[in-house]
A and B are shown apart, each in its own frame.
Chain A
Amino acid sequence: MASRGGGRGRGRGQLTFNMEAVGIGKGDALPPPTLQPSPLFPPLEFRPVPLPSGEEGEYVLALKQELRGAMRQLPYFIRPAVPKRDWRRLPRELKIRVRKLQKERTTILLPKRPPKTTEDKEETIQKLETLEKKEEEVTSEEDEEKEEEEEKEEEEEEEYDEEEHEEETDYIMSYFDNGEDFGGDSDDNMDEAIY
């Protein structure tokens, strides 16, 4: 016990190996102690090598982005489904409203399908505004849907939204989606890059 207590004071600075063998000479300043985990983005000493560019690189890159977008549209991409409502607990009127809104939407969409005559400027802008409003509606609905299931009726619309649009619209699906599926692209413009 005595020697142990004494040894603690005496031999404290000794290491089990010869420092010189490893290359630290006597009197050399040791590097400062590490007091925290290394920074998340440590400064780079050397610039990274530039990425390969050129035809092959560009093509493979475009392929990659296209694939990503394409896979999202395939049936293999399973979107989280909305749980089934328990109809016994909800007022019946909510169910009917689903149909009504469905019809409403279809009628609004129909005039957007290519009519033969050219549209007025104002009409276009108006339509854009109504679409924007609807977009906001839908987005806000879908935002709430992510939270607790309080507004069940809005979730209704969300649910049938997907079904309806998968069948009937010729808009890009992501138009009405809640923004997670940013890879969607319009059917006509396949040469657009997918982000």
Chain B
Amino acid sequence: MTQAEIKLCSLLLQEHFGEIVEKIGVHLIRTGSQPLRVIAHDTGTSLDQVKKALCVLIQHNLVIYQVHKRGVVEYEAQCSRVLRMLRYPRYIYTAKTLYSDTGELIVEELLLNGKMTMSAVVKKVADRLTETMEDGKTMDYAEVSNTFVRLADTHFVQRCPFVPATENSDPGPPPPAPTLVINEKDMYLVPKLSLIGKGKRRRSSDEDATGEPKAKRPKHTADNKEPIPDDGIYWQANLDRFHQHFRDQGIVSAVANRMDQIFRSLPVGYNISKQVLDQYLTLLADDPLEFVGKSGDSGGGMYVINLHKALGSLATATLESVVQERFGSRCARIFRLVLQKKHLEQKQVEDFAMIPAKEAKDMLYKMLSENFISLQEIPKTPDHAPSRTFYLYTVNILSAARMLLHRCYKSIANLIERRQFETKENKRLLEKSQRVEAIIASMQATGAEEAQLQEIEEMITAPERQQLETLKRNVNKLDASEIQVDETIFLLESYIESTMKRQ
């Protein structure tokens, strides 16, 4: 794990779980697998705190445990999983586009809580949806269940490994930690539950909750008394499946862009017919993007999507785009040139790009120093004398992608730090504004007059409002940038992973 990744994990853990969890988490990421007491000793934290932190981390699938010999349990952190926290909003939004609000909330609850039973999720989501509905309307458990089942069927949520049912024939003491198991066919198996009920609003009495005889407790439903039908069967979000979806989306949109370009060069006003479709596919197959390959001619030929090539193209496009935005369009032209021709000498670059030598040199060195381009030596003579060696510029996509990925991690860490700094700077003002809001809210609830409300609002002066506006704008910008950079991270990681698999 690079320093940049560790730094980013630290910021994410701290923002979402607090400093104690951050300390333990980062320690484990740095040192690898360790038992409980060693963690406590090395971090100088009390045993209690370490236990709490580990529970939270395990609950959220960020730390796993293993029983080693002599009954010692060791804990190991999953750095890459921590980094996924950046992507939570994207997962939730995807669920929304595919399965609307119900799906969105199901995935959100699972991500916020790490693991949950289906009954707990359904109940919680039904309650949340009911809150947003008109008075008197409630969300039925059955509807939420249905969406849950659909999410399971399409593999967006999956079962967590569970404690295997042991026979009582084992006479020894229970192991210090269970070994959880799951096999493929069980992973998306939804337990047969008959969840009957409707969501409840937070404030209302239990009159509108039909079928629920426990009407005494106003705030918490008494389901602690009821046996949970799917006890021990926990579910989690299946991040890999979401990633698949993102990949497909990325490829589809890249192709769509390409199709647009092709569209524009075709005559206007025609209906899509079989021949035209065939033409399109041929065009795509011949297209330098190489997303679609033709395999065989039987039955008109089969078109396959070359995933690795597609990812490579996306990664390359990203690199090109970065070069363009950082160094300008002439630099980008040189970059694309070297990419296309694979290896070029200094002179050739100048000639092909039609850029004066001095400028070309300058640009090449800039890109070289930032590792977008590399120099390859081809000796002419066995003694590798420099005066008799070819120096060729080339783009090594894999290493450039790695370099860019590393920069992305650093960027996000910077963005988060800046956002925290901005917020800290304005802490006093933020607190004041929150206080005022709270007061206004409570006054509104008691039916205060407009004039009184205005007076309270005026406690925040106009320049202060301005400051708050600016702060909000900046924080939004920083947040949006984080989201944007994570998209790039996803692309690059997918490409690197796909390349490593083939080696």
* A, B co-complexed: yes
A interface residue numbers (CB < 8 A to B): 15-18, 21-24, 45-46, 48-49, 51-52, 56-57, 59-61, 63-65, 67-68, 70-72, 74, 76-81, 112, 114-116, 118-119, 121, 124-125, 128, 131, 135, 171-172, 174-175, 179, 182, 184-186, 188-189, 192-193, 195
Contacts A128-B459, A189-B441 known; 19 new A-B pairs at CB < 8 A: A46-B325, A49-B325, A51-B477, A61-B476, A64-B89, A67-B89, A70-B112, A71-B15, A76-B59, A78-B18, A112-B442, A114-B446, A119-B443, A128-B456, A175-B435, A179-B428, A186-B438, A192-B437, A195-B430
* B residues near A76, Cβ cutoff 8 Å: 16-17, 21, 56, 59-60, 113-114
Q: Which residues of A contact B214 (CB under 8 A)?
A: none
CB B386 to nearest CB in A, in angstroms, measures: 3
Which segment of B187-195, B250-258, B402-410, B478-486 sits at the interface?
B478-486
Query: With an 8 A cutoff between CB atoms, is B184 at the interface?
Result: no
Q: Which residues of A contact B361 (CB under 8 A)?
A: 23-24
List the B side residues contacting A72 at CB < 8 Å: 16
Residue of B nearest to A63 (CB): B89
Residues of B within 8 A of A (CB): 15-21, 49, 52-53, 56, 59-60, 88-90, 92-93, 96, 108, 111-114, 325-328, 346, 357, 361, 364, 386-387, 389, 391, 423, 427-428, 430-431, 434-435, 437-439, 441-443, 445-449, 451-452, 455-456, 459, 471-472, 475-477, 479-484
Give the chain A neighbours of B19 by CB distance below 8 A: 80
A61 touches B442 (CB 8 A): no
Pairwise interchain contact A124-B452, C-beta atoms closer than 8 A: yes
- B430 near A21 with CB under 8 A, answer no
Q: How far is the CB of B394 from chain A (nearest CB, A)?
A: 15
Q: How far is the CA of A49 from the CA of B477 in the complex (A)?
A: 12
Q: Are A172 and B448 in contact (CB under 8 A)?
A: no
Chain A's closest residue to B481 (CB) is A51
28 A/B residue pairs, CB under 8 Å, sorted by A:
A17-B386, A18-B386, A21-B391, A45-B328, A48-B325, A52-B480, A57-B483, A60-B93, A63-B89, A63-B92, A63-B93, A64-B482, A67-B88, A72-B16, A76-B60, A76-B114, A77-B18, A78-B18, A81-B49, A114-B442, A115-B446, A118-B449, A182-B427, A182-B430, A188-B445, A195-B423, A195-B430, A195-B472
Q: Which residue of B lies closest to A117 (CB)?
A: B446
- Complex contact B431–A182 (CB within 8 A): yes
Closest to B53 in A: A78
Instruction: Please provide the 6 A-B residue pairs with the shortest distance between their CB atoms, ordered closest to farther.
Output: A17-B386, A18-B387, A63-B89, A114-B446, A64-B89, A23-B346
Q: CA–CA, A99 to B13, complex, Å?
A: 35
Consensus secondary structure, chain A interface: loop
Determine which of A21, A56, A65, A193 lies in contact with B386 in the assembled complex, contact meaning CB atoms within 8 Å.
Answer: A21
Q: For the complex, what is the distance from the CA of A24 to the CA of B317, rounded to whole Å? A: 31
Whether A71 contacts B434 by the Cβ 8 Å rule is no
Chain B residues closer than 8 Å to A114, beta-carbon distance = 442, 445-446
Chain A residue at minimal CB-CB distance from B433 = A195
Do residues B481 and A78 form an inter-chain contact, with CB atoms below 8 A?
no
Residue pair A182, B15 in contact (C-beta under 8 Å): no
Q: How far is the CB of A174 from chain B (nearest CB, A)?
A: 7
Q: Is the CB of B438 within 8 A of A78?
A: no
Q: Are B484 and A52 in contact (CB under 8 A)?
A: yes
* Chain B residues within 8 Å of A23, by CB: 346, 357, 361, 364
Known: A79-B18, A114-B442, A171-B438. A61 touches B49 (CB 8 A): no
CB <8 Å contact, B386 and A16: yes
Residues of A within 8 A of B423 (CB): 182, 195
Contact of A57 with B480 at beta-carbon distance under 8 Å, contacts A70-B112, A118-B449, A172-B434 already known? yes
Task: Specify the chain B residue showing the minimal Cβ separation from A62.
Answer: B89
Query: Is the CB–CB distance between B53 and A56 below 8 Å?
Result: no
Query: Whole-angstrom distance between the alpha carbons of A171 and B442 in the complex?
Result: 9
Which residues of chain B have C-beta atoms less than 8 A from A184's C-beta?
Answer: 434
Minimum CB distance partner of A185 in chain B: B434
CB distance from A181 to the nearest CB of B (A): 9
**Interface core residue of A60, A74, A79, A128 (most chain B CB under 10 Å):** A60
Is A118 touching B447 in the complex (CB atoms < 8 A)?
yes
> Which B residue sits closest to A194, measured CB to CB?
B475
Contact partner of A78 (CB less than 8 A), chosen from B21, B89, B483, is B21
Contact of B483 among A48, A61, A74, A131 (CB under 8 A): A61
Q: How far is the CA of A53 from the CA of B430 in the complex (A)?
A: 25
Q: How far is the CA of A63 from the CA of B448 in the complex (A)?
A: 32
Q: In the complex, are the beta carbons of A17 and B446 less than 8 A apart?
A: no
A46→B346 CA distance, assembly (Å): 26
Chain B residues whose CB sits within 8 angstroms of the CB of A56 once the complex forms: 93
Contact pick for A135, options B364, B435, B483, CB 8 Å: B435
What's the Cα separation between A95 and B430 when bound, in Å? Answer: 34
Question: Roughly how many angstroms separate A112 CA and B441 CA in the complex, as a whole number?
Answer: 12
Say whether A186 contacts B112, CB under 8 Å: no
Question: Which B residues lie within 8 Å of A182 (CB)?
Answer: 423, 427, 430-431
Bound CA span A175–B434, Å? 8
CA A61 – CA B113 in complex, angstroms?
Answer: 20
